[in-house]
């Protein structure tokens, strides 16, 4: 880890070109916000010393990262990237930092390795900039060199061929390394006399050159992973790039993937070699899929664990669920937060679980809702069983012992307990305890009348 060097992510902008209420850095790639990708790449190099400048919808950004150790500085008015650095400077100083790596928050595909490499190449220069050589420089800031040396960065809008020479295709990636002393000296000299009326961080280059300070343009080739995202087209392109890379590395590690082009796996997901996936499917968050597990097509699995030899059949949605070994899930199952399936349990089509535990070998195979429930091992839940856990005000719990049998179309009105080895007759509405080993039938008696003609 680097001493006295910190990272600063510029993330206060609105992202006008995304046409969205959400700030740009909260748009996602493979289920993770752009800012999360950037922070994750920087964390191994800077530990706690990662700051983000936020502003537009700052509270929304804070809430999204409440559980991260990101440090925030607020830029209440977004007057430009140079102004963002100005606002952050006193904080970084107060924390005893001497040098900073500044990264645009809309550059989510940077990696720990690429940043480490850049920092090494930037060593010894007062100010360094990562540059890219593009066939089509688009709206990116243009690098101007004199005698091969970095001389200035000119924004596309402000670029003038007569004044700045023919464009070379070398652009500013929006990644900078600089000494805080240098920043402190140059920032007061920034102005906003440009086409955008903003204080540009990029103008620091020209100012540093003016002062005879050593500046360096570190060319990173045409690495598409260093490109900033400004609109939905670029977001889709970057997401596809990351998606393909993750799937590729899963395949290489020994995961069997059918239709890999349609499989989406988040950066923090672990799929063990020997697991098998069918596309299209989406695996996000902190999901873990054990070796031997099989996930069929059209499933969406988020922050969930799937044990060995479990099969998740098509069209199942899992969110914060825990599924043991040798389980069967779906097709068309919905496991919501707090759903726990112990080893060998089955959940079939159109079954929904929420904050509910299904014991070892227990089965709920058809059309059932299990909410706030504890179900013992080897118990069978008949088709159409509903735990009535909500009375309009409170949520209540249903407890069912081991090896019980709940007949089809039963309503279990919580709070209620069904003892072990009890049997409930089909169509019952159970409002009171059914003691261990008892047979309970709670429904209107059938009466047969002679038919009138
Ligand atoms: C910027 C660079 C450009 C470079 C490109 C690379 C400037 C002036 N231009 O242009 O040379 O080629 O990135 O992708 O820096 N932000 C703030 N506060 C502000 C304004 C912006 O925090 O007041 C943040 C934004 O949230 C964004 C980042 O800074 O994450 C860059 O801003 P953006 O408006 O996207 O700059 P570009 O026009 O892409
Ligand atoms: Ca940008």
Query: SS3 string of the chain?
Result: CCCCEEEEEECCCCCHHHCCCCCHHHCEECCEEHHHHHHHHHHHHHCCCEEEEECCCHHHHHHHCCCCCCEEEECCCCCCHHHHHHHHHHHHHHCCCCEEEEEECCCCCCCHHHHHHHHHHHCCCCEEEEEEECCCCCCCCEEEEECCEEEEEECHHHCCHHHHCCCCCEEEEEEEEEEHHHHHHHHHHCCCCCCCCCCCCCHHHHHHHHCCCCEEEEECCCCHHHCCCCCHHHHHHHHHHHHHHHHHHHHHHCCEEECHHHEEECCCCEECCCCEEECCEEEECCCEECCCCEECCCCEEECCEECCCCEECCCCEEECCEECCCCEECCCCEECCCCEECCCCEEEEEEEEEEEEECCCCEEEEEEEEEEEEECCCCEECCCCEEECECCCCECCEEECCCCEECCCCEEECCEEECCCCEECCCCEECCCECCCCEECCCCCCCCCCCCC
> Do residues 254 and 392 share a domain?
yes
Is 307 within the bounds of a domain? Answer: yes
Same-domain pairing of 282 and 189: no
Mean pLDDT of 283-312: 98
Q: For residue range 388-439, what is the model confidence (pLDDT) as tens digits? A: 999 999 999 999 999 999 999 999 999 999 999 999 999 999 999 999 999 9
The CATH number given to whatever domain includes residue 21 is 3.90.550.10
Tell the residue number behind the tokens 């159970």, with chain if given: 430
Q: Are residues 286 and 179 in the same domain?
A: no
pLDDT per position as a tens digit, 33-90: 999 999 999 999 999 999 999 999 999 999 999 988 899 999 999 999 999 999 999 9
Q: Which of 174, 217, 220, 229 to mutate to test the pocket of ligand 1 (most atoms within 8 A of CB)?
A: 174
Quote the ligand 1 centre to 65 CA distance (angstroms). 21
The answer to whether residue 231 is domain-embedded is no
Based on the fold, state whether residues 274 and 386 are members of the same structural domain.
yes
Contacting residues for 28 by C-beta, under 8 A, at least 6 apart: 34
Q: Do 144 and 202 fall within a single domain? A: yes
Q: How far apart are CA 299 and CA 318, in angstroms?
A: 8
Q: Is residue 189 part of a domain?
A: yes
Q: How many angstroms separate the alpha carbon of residue 62 from the centre of ligand 2? A: 21
Name the domain boundary from 189, 211, 226.
226
Are residues 38 and 184 located together in one domain of the fold? Answer: yes
Catalytic residue among 37, 288, 313, 366: 366
- Ligand 1: residue whose CA is nearest its atom 25: 13
**Angular region, 75: left φ>0, alpha ψ -120 to 50, beta rest:** beta
Please state, in angstroms and rounded to a whole number, the distance separating the CA atoms of residues 332 and 315. Answer: 5
The CATH code of the domain that includes 389 is: 2.160.10.10
Of 226, 259, 294, which marks where a domain is finished?
226
Token code pair at residue 433: 């305890």
pLDDT in tens, 238-263: 999 999 999 999 999 999 999 999 99
Atom nearest to 196 CA in ligand 1: 8
Atom of ligand 1 nearest to the CA of 156: 11
Instruction: Return d(Cα 373, Cα 171) in angstroms, integer.
Output: 58
**Is there a domain that residue 451 lies in?**
no
The ligand minimizing its distance to the Cα of 53 is 1
| pLDDT higher than 90, residue 3 | no
Taking CB atoms within 8 Å and a gap of at least 24, the contacts of 410-417 are 410/382, 410/384, 410/385, 410/386, 411/385, 411/386, 412/373, 412/385, 412/386, 412/387, 412/388, 413/388, 414/372, 414/373, 414/387, 414/388, 414/389
Question: Does 420 fall in a domain?
Answer: yes
- Give the position, in ligand 1's atom list, of the atom nearest the Cα of 13: 26
Q: Which distant-in-sequence residues (6+ apart) come within 8 Å of 385 by Cβ? A: 364, 368, 369, 370, 406, 408, 409, 410, 411, 412
Q: Point out the domain boundary residue: 192, 226, 260.
A: 226
d(CA 17, ligand 2 centre) in Å: 10
* Residue 362 belongs to some domain of the structure: yes
Q: How many domains does the chain have?
A: 2
> Residue 229 C-alpha to ligand 2 middle, in angstroms?
6
Please check whether residues 220 and 298 belong to one and the same domain: no
- Catalytic residue check, 346: no
What is the torsional sign of CA 196, 199, 201, 202?
positive
Residues 380 and 405: their CA atoms lie apart, in Å, by: 5
Indicate whether 267 and 376 sit together in one domain. yes
Same domain, yes or no: 122 and 254: no
pLDDT at res. 2: 73
286 and 344 part of one domain: yes
- How distant, in Å, are the alpha carbons of 22, 273, 386, 409, 411 from that of 429? 46, 47, 10, 9, 5
Which of the four pLDDT bands, split at 50, 70 and 90, describes residue 28?
A: very high
- Specify whether 285 is located in the same domain as 370: yes
Q: Is the pLDDT reported for residue 1 higher than 70? A: no
Domain range enclosing 128: 5-226
φ/ψ of residue 251, rounded to 5? -60, -45
Q: Does some domain include residue 234?
A: no
How high is the pLDDT of residue 449? Answer: 96
Please write the tens of the pLDDT for every residue from 82-134. Answer: 999 999 999 999 999 999 999 999 999 999 999 999 999 999 999 999 999 99
Residues 222, 263: one domain? no
**Average pLDDT for residues 313-317, to the nearest whole number?**
98
Give a yes or no: residue 283 inside a domain.
yes
């Amino acid at each position: 880890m680097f001493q006295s060097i910190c990272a600063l992510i510029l993330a206060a902008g609105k992202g006008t070109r995304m046409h969205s209420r959400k700030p740009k850095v909260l748009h996602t790639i493979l289920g993770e916000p752009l800012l999360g990708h950037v922070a994750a790449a920087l964390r191994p190099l800077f530990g706690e010393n990662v700051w983000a400048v936020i502003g537009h919808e700052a509270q929304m950004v804070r809430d999204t990262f409440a559980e991260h150790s990101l440090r925030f500085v607020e830029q209440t008015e977004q007057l430009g990237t140079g102004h963002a650095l100005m606002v952050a400077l006193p904080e970084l100083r107060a924390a005893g930092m001497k040098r900073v790596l500044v990264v645009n928050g809309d550059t989510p595909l940077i990696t720990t390795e690429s940043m480490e490499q850049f920092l090494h190449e930037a060593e010894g220069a007062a100010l360094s900039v990562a540059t890219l050589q593009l066939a089509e420089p688009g709206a990116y800031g243009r690098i101007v060199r004199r005698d091969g040396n970095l001389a200035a960065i000119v924004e596309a809008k402000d670029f003038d061929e007569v004044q700045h020479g023919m464009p070379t295709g070398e652009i500013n990636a929006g990644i900078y390394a600089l000494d805080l002393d240098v920043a402190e000296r140059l920032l007061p000299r920034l102005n906003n006399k440009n086409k955008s009326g903003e204080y540009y961080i990029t103008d620091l280059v020209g100012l540093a050159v003016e002062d005879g300070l050593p500046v360096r343009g570190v060319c990173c080739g045409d690495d598409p992973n260093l490109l900033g995202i400004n609109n939905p087209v670029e977001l889709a392109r970057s997401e596809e790039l990351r998606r393909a890379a993750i799937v590729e590395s899963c395949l290489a590690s020994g995961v069997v993937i059918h239709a890999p082009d349609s499989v989406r796996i988040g950066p923090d997901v672990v799929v063990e070699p020997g697991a098998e996936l069918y596309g299209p499917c989406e695996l996000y968050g902190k999901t873990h899929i054990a070796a031997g597990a099989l996930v069929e097509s059209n499933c969406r699995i988020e922050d969930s664990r799937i044990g060995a030899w479990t099969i998740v059949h098509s069209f199942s949605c899992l969110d914060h669920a825990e599924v043991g070994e040798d389980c069967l899930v779906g097709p068309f199952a919905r496991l919501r937060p707090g759903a726990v399936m112990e080893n060998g349990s089955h959940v079939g089509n159109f079954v929904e679980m929420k904050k509910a535990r299904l014991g070892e070998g227990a089965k709920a195979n058809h059309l059932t809702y299990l909410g706030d429930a504890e179900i013992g091992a080897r118990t069978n839940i008949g088709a159409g069983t509903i735990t009535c856990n909500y009375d309009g005000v409170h949520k209540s719990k249903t407890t069912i012992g081991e090896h019980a049998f709940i007949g089809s179309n039963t309503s279990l009105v919580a709070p209620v307990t069904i003892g072990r080895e009890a049997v409930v007759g089909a169509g019952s509405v159970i409002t009171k305890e059914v003691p261990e080993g008892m047979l309970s039938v709670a429904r209107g008696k059938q009466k047969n009348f002679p038919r009138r003609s």
